[in-house]
Every structure is written in C-alpha cells, then in structure tokens.
Structure 1
C-alpha cells in the first residue's frame, strides 16, 4: 500500500494539472469566442456595405437593361451570382459556429421564442421550396444563403460578451461608410436620377443614409467627446446624402421612423404597451379606412398614391404588384419557390408572361407581396408571427435600455415601412434583413437577461 501511494498521488497530481490546463484553455477560448462574437455583425455589415459595393458593385443588370426593360436582351446568367460575392458568408458562419461552441452559447438559444421558431420554419421552408420551384438550384442556393446569414447573426449575438463592443464596432463600420460616401459625393458626378454614392443604385444609397442618421442619433446621446463629435458628423452627412440620392422614399421614412420609434418607446416604457399591439392597431385602422373610402368611391389605390405621393403607379410598382397578384392566385398556399420569380432570365415567368420593367426587376418591390409569391400564405403567416415577436421583443428591450430600445424600434419601423416599396425582410443577403435579425436577437437576449 505504501509503495502504491506515491504513484497514485503522482497520477492524481498529473490529472489535476491536466484538468487545470484544460479549464484554463476552455476559459481562454470562451473569452476569445466572446470577443469575436461581438465583432462578427460588424464584419458582415462591413462586407455588405463596403467591400461588396467597392469590389462587386454595379448590380446584376446593366443601366441599359434597367432603363430599356424588355427591349434590352437579358444576360444568359441573369439571376445567378458570382461565388466570390458569397464566399464571405460561409466563412463568417463557420466563425460564428466556432464562437458558439467555444462559449457554450448555443445552450442559451431561445428556441421556444415565437419569433425564433417562426424564422426557423421559414428558413426550412425556403430551402424545401426547391422541391416545387421552377428554378430548384437557384431556390436552393438562395434559401441556404438566407439560412447562413440569419443563423450567423443569431449565433454571433448570443456568443458576444459585450453589446458595448458590438455597437462600437458597428459605429466604426458606419463611420467608414460615411467617409467613403462623402468622398464619392465630392469626387463623382450624380447619375441621371440621383447620386448613388459607392453603391450600384441610388435607392440603396438612400436607405443606407437613413441608417447612418439613426446610428448617429443613438451615439450622440452618450459616450466621450470624440464619439459625440463623430456622431454629429454622421447626423450632418446623412441628410445631405438623402437629398443627393433623390430617394424620396428613404427621405420620408428617415423622418418618420425616429418619430414612430419615440412614440413606441414612450408607450413601452411609460404605458407598458407592446409595440406589436400598437403597430397592429395602426395597420388595422389604416386598412379599414382605406377600404371604407374605396367602397364609398372616395378614392382608389392609385388615386390615393397620386394625392399623397404624387405618383399613381409608384414608379411602375403597381404594375409589378398587379402581375404578382395573378401569380399568387395560381399557387396561394406554398408559393412558387423562394426567390424563384424575379430576375430569373429568359426562362422566368415574368419574361414569358409580361412586358416592361417586370422582366428584369430583381424583386417585386414589396416584401409582403414577395413573401406570398415565394412561400405562399403559409410563409406570410410565419412572417407575420416573426414580426409580431420582433416588435414585442423590442418593446421589452426598451424597458431595459431606453437608448438601444429606441434605436431598435426606429430601425424596425424603418424596415417595416421600407418593405412596402422594396423587398427587404427574409430576402437573402439584404443588408436591411441583416439589421433586423441583428437587433431582433439583441432584443431577445437583452430582455431575457433582464428578466
């Protein structure tokens, strides 16, 4: 027994030493994963707002195609994307997955949350819709891309050790976007319909300018002198960009969204009313008023557009929507397949069945209609559930952190309204969708931690 005791003691000491090293290594990896998780959202938005437009800018269609519509020949690979444009997303996904595993944050994912569950089902449905899509390969590719981007941001938020670092990193990206666009505005001439900045299209420059304004307003309310000065610079540059882009939609929404965000913030913090309830009531009342007026002959959709916005067709969008409505009636329940309608070239339904801009339009310019086209009534119902959950989570966040809650509600309000005239929500590689997922995950994690 005496001869064995030293050996046993030595083994126990070695085992304890190995365990101590293992624990130290795990702690180091967890800290590193938390730090990287805080930076991944900024990496993704930096790629899509800076690297992509500078390296691959120009869009999928030439200016001739956009101006001439059906008169111009479509490229043979219309709707396809260069693998180089997409390679960053799988790399960021792998990094987010490693961060999640090293920090153990995957155990905290709120899979029982309504919004998270609805988003997960939509992701599965988007990929599965390749089975009935006219373009299975395209649908599968874009469905998988949507899954990768959405999952990456959620994993990153739950792995992040500090939202303060995350917001600082996002600020750095927005500063770079501001400076690069300022240089572009000062050195490059405007296009025939507005300045595009460093982006391929003026409407993109418009909504990016709106986001710059919101981020600047958020950061000017706290921090050191340098941070506040930079925020003031962004606040001053954003209106200039909005005017130069001649994006009337983004200009109007950039004014409306912060105001709506403040109203929702006040209701959530002072009155304990959910933003989801207020938005639902607002949308319901607006719909009721429209149908009452239309039924009485006071107005039509186009006459209302002409009176309020000065353009009965909303620059041709109503023609797209009328065509989309006919397609929705053909397959109302599951749709035609995720992103399998617009921008699909000679073999696509728009090219074969309609004329004009619809033949080359990359989206239906309405994210709600596009969801009905892509995934039918089932997808639309799930999208509605997600939006309700997102607004509810933003309301809970507002009760915990007023500044971050206001920014989240403002961005949500902007995207929800912008989605009426463009397609943003649940659209693969759309930066506004990235922002919505990012702040949705932030809102859920922050409010859950507070409870």
Structure 2
C-alpha cells in the first residue's frame, strides 16, 4: 500500500495539489521575469528588475515552507527513515547551513542556508509522503502545466517571451534567459513522456502531446546544450530499460559510451559558442574556460570549505578578483561543480558527487526491480543533473525545482533494496509452498 493510501482521502487530495502548486512555484515561471527584464544584449541587461510578482512568489514560498514543516512535524516518524537514506546529502546540507561561520558575508550565507534547508525539507516531504510512481505523476502534472503556461505566455506576450538583442528570435518564455527556459523545458519533457509510456487509456496521447510541446519549446529556445542533452537522454532510454533484461556487459559499455559522447558533445557545443563569442560576436559571454581558471585559483586559496554559501559572487567580495581577470562581471562559474567548490569547498563538492554516485547506483537497482517506464525517472534525472552542470550551475539552489527533484529522488531510493529482497522472499515462499504444501514458515 502506498503512503497516499494510508491517509484521509480529503487530505490526500489537498497534499497532491499542494505538491503540484509548490513545484510550479519553484520553476520560477510565476515571477514573470521576462516581462520586467530586457533581453541579453539590450541596454540595461544584467540588472535584475524585481516586481510585485516576486513579492507574491516570496509570500507563496513562506506559506509552502510553513505547510511543509507542519506536515513533517505531524508525521515525524515517517520522515526519519527517508532522511537517513542519504548521509552524504545530510552532511552537504549541514555544511551549507553552517557555512555562515566562515563566510565572508555571514548574514547572506545564513539566510541562503536556511532557504536551502527548507527547500531540502520539501524534497524530503515528497520522498516520505509519496512513492516514486506517485511523485512522477505529480511532477508530470506540474511540469505539464508549466509547459502549457509558457506556450500561452509567449504567444500572448511575444515582446517579452521572445528574446531581442543577442539571441533575437529565441524563446525564453516567462524566464529571464533562453538558456534557463531551455533547461526547464528539458526537465518538463521527460516526466509526461515516461508517464505516457505506461498509460493505456484515452489520455495517453494527450500526455504525449504535452511532452512533445516541451520538446518543441526546447527547439524554439535555440539552446544547443539542451538539445544535445535531450538527444543523449533519449538514446539512453532503451539502454536503461535493457538493464532489467540482461546482465550482459555490453549494455553498461554502451551506456558509458553514450554518456561520454554526450558529455563531450555538451562541452564542445559550449566551447564552440565561446569561440565565436571570443572572436567578437559577443565579448560579454566569451571564455567559460577563463572563468573556470580564475575560479579555480580562488578555490585553491580556501580549498576545504570555500567562501560561504552564496557569498562568493558578491560585489566587494573575493569575486572581484575574477572580475578583474575577465574584465567583465559574471555571477556564477558557469559550471555547477566549480560553483559549489568555490562556495562550500572541495568537501561540499565531494559530498555532492558521492550523493549523486550512490543515488545513481540505487537507481539502477530500482530499474531492475520494476517493469514500468516510470521507474526510469530517477536514472534519467540523475543523468541530466551532472551533464547540465558542465556549463551551467544547477546544484543546491534554494527555492529551485532542480534541487527539490534531486532531494526527493535520492531520499526515495534507499528502500529499493528492501523491495528486491521482499520479491525474492515471495518467490522463495511460493516455491516452498509448491514443493512441500506448507503454507507458512518462520
């Protein structure tokens, strides 16, 4: 019996819709950033203009966190076991929350650390409250709504939803930049796609249509990085499915080959853009490798614990060195692993990598215990997250759907081994009954 079946039906109805609303809020589409902020390459770009929608979303977030804490406290015993499934993630969050002790800007790190903790708690709530199958359906609903909303927003407000300036003609939807929009649509594509593969009713083609819409929006964003990663994940889907059919070493070999090839293609696409930029097409974006070199220099100055969570890319701080080297300002390392390294050190980066690696192994075991397409969701997401962080920063972001999805997956996966053991025990029991006639045994 799933967790959702053990509670009051009315409460279950409310909680599922609460989860859907929260995921929509965490995508950032309700901030309407593109409506109030100019496109890249247009005068005024780089200075974020806040709006009344930002304040409304902040109020929603506070309400979400209060509701989450209420549910966690009310079901504290059911939350403890999932929370212990990934000790690496717990240590990582511990480093983030306490980083204000050594931060160059303690108040900023303290506030950001609290938001990161509360975002993590919502992911833990999802893991403790819903099975992975239920989570995928909730996520598919939320991201399907986001994809449809983004289409309607852009068609209705073309001057805001479509880029001007540097990336003229590229879709950015309600978000600030077309690359952010492409990343979101990439995540929007897979939950409805996987859910539709297992549907056998009249709604199957509608759900496929939502997935197709998200794919079309990736193409309209003109983001080559998102397109390469999407194609890589599509190629991996049948191989991930094949993991449950055979232990042949050829399948892991092909998976590794596609992952390496996809990673190299992602890096090459990003580097090719940078080469064009450095030749004068857009000097404000040139040289990710230059950013990485400057950031690595600062990492080695404080290698173990970094400069404090979200305390590096602040005017008057240590990022001034990076800006002097580059002769222009950036506000992230354009690589998630460098970014986490400079903020919470190599220890923080190590615990994140360990968390991803162990979750990936558990996700493979989970696939082998199931016959549904929905069971592929953890593997797909755990492949997406590191790949996208080669060129962008999507690690441990407060109020972010990407962090929530990672937390909910990694805290949900530890129980897979128990499922496998129970299945083997049931098969053994049936065999003993058929051979001896004994219907129960200690």
Provide the residue aligned with 2:81 in structure 1. 109
How far 1:148 sits from its partner (Å)?
A: 0.7
The match for 1:408 among 364, 369, 378 is 378
1:2-151 equivalences in 2 (<5 Å): 36-49=14-27, 52-55=28-31, 57-58=33-34, 63=38, 67=41, 85-103=57-75, 105-106=77-78, 108-113=80-85, 116-151=86-121
Give structure 1 stretches of 5+ with no counterpart.
1-26, 291-300
Q: Deviations over 1:309-352 (max 9, x none)?
A: 4644785322211210111111111111111112x2x3233346
How far 1:358 sits from its partner (Å)?
A: 7.9
Q: Deviations over 1:76-122 (max 9, x none)?
A: x99xx966544434432332333344445536524543xx2111111
Provide the residue aligned with 1:420 in structure 2. 390
1:372-411 equivalences in 2 (<5 Å): 372-401=341-370, 402-411=372-381
The match for 1:203 among 157, 161, 179 is 179
RMSD: 3.9
Provide the residue aligned with 2:282 in structure 1. none
Kept in 2, the 8 Å contact 1:262–1:406? The answer is no
Distance 1:157 1:284, change over 3 A: closer
Mapped partners of 1:443, 1:264: distance in 2 = 16
Kept in 2, the 8 Å contact 1:99–1:159? The answer is no
TM-score when scaled to structure 1? Answer: 0.75
Provide the residue aligned with 1:191 in structure 2. 163
Kept in 2, the 8 Å contact 1:41–1:438? The answer is no
Mapped partners of 1:93, 1:332: distance in 2 = 33
Mapped partners of 1:279, 1:373: distance in 2 = 34
Mapped partners of 1:398, 1:92: distance in 2 = 32
Corresponding residue pairs, total: 396
Distance 1:218 1:315, change over 3 A: farther
1:123-272 equivalences in 2 (<5 Å): 123-160=93-130, 164-187=133-156, 188-189=158-159, 190-192=162-164, 193=167, 194-267=170-243, 270-271=246-247
Provide the residue aligned with 2:305 in structure 1. 334
Mapped partners of 2:268, 2:79: distance in 1 = 49
TM-score when scaled to structure 2? Answer: 0.76
Bigger Rg, which one: 1
Mapped partners of 2:110, 2:203: distance in 1 = 43
Q: Deviations over 1:21-71 (max 9, x none)?
A: xxxxxx99766665555445423211123xx43335249x9548x6489x9
Kept in 2, the 8 Å contact 1:334–1:375? The answer is yes
Mapped partners of 1:34, 1:42: distance in 2 = 12
Mapped partners of 1:219, 1:155: distance in 2 = 22
Q: Deviations over 1:368-395 (max 9, x none)?
A: 1112101112112111110112102211
Kept in 1, the 8 Å contact 2:132–2:409? The answer is no
1:278-427 equivalences in 2 (<5 Å): 305=268, 309=272, 311-312=274-275, 315-342=286-313, 344=314, 346-351=315-320, 354-355=323-324, 360-401=329-370, 402-427=372-397
Distance 1:28 1:214, change over 3 A: closer
Give structure 2 stretches of 5+ with no counterpart.
279-284, 422-442
Distance 1:280 1:171, change over 3 A: closer
Mapped partners of 1:210, 1:72: distance in 2 = 25
Kept in 2, the 8 Å contact 1:33–1:103? The answer is no
Kept in 2, the 8 Å contact 1:103–1:159? The answer is no
Distance 1:416 1:127, change over 3 A: same
Mapped partners of 1:324, 1:334: distance in 2 = 14
Distance 1:122 1:88, change over 3 A: farther
